Amino acid sequence: MAGVGVYGSPFLASHHFANLIRGHSMSYMAQRPDINAVHTLILLSLYDWGKSNGCQAWAYTEMATRMAQGIYSRMKANTKDVSGVNSSTQQEMITRSVWTCFALDCMLRCGRYGPQSAQVEVLDIPLPMSEDDFNIGIESTLRPTFLARYEMETPSLLTDNDGQRHGSQ
């Protein structure tokens, strides 16, 4: 922790580097939105949430969510184009990032009233694959998706890409 000695405390060091990232990353993100920009926004949101800056954390989460959804939409459009095919690892990273944004949005609203920003957008996004499948590189064509709307007649929580429901019925 040589860097902490320069700044006097871990708090001051983290504050310095968070501000440095904020300053350098905002212009980059606006010009070139990519998965690294989403991850940066997620980390800044978590940092601000931990420092009780809820409004800033919410703003970074919103930006990360919109950017991740745009990247996901672009990825889905490119799967039909052979020249723009992403690796399964890249696709899974994008899927996990979208779900991270969704979970972070839910955490930030916990205990307070606020509209959920990612409510509708996650309906057609498959759930992340298991850690073992991700590490080994197994691809599944039928991955379940989360149903954000609960129907009274069907209490099932999962459906696969073909609309087949799984769970208690």
SS (H, E, C) 53-68: CHHHHHHHHHHHHHHH
The dihedral formed by the CA atoms of 100, 118, 143 and 43, expressed in degrees to the nearest 10: -10
Note the pLDDT of residue 81: 56
Q: What's the CA gap between 16 and 153, in Å, rounded? A: 53
- In angstroms, how far is the first alpha carbon of the chain from the final one? 55
Residues 4-50 pLDDT 10s: 678 888 888 888 889 888 888 887 887 878 999 999 999 999 999 99
> Which residue type does 56 have?
Q
Mark the ranges of the chain whose per-residue pLDDT is less than 50: 82-85, 113, 118, 120, 148-157, 168-169
Predicted TM-score of the model (pTM): 0.71
Note the pLDDT of residue 154: 46
Note the pLDDT of residue 155: 46
Q: What's the CA gap between 134 and 107, in Å, rounded? A: 25
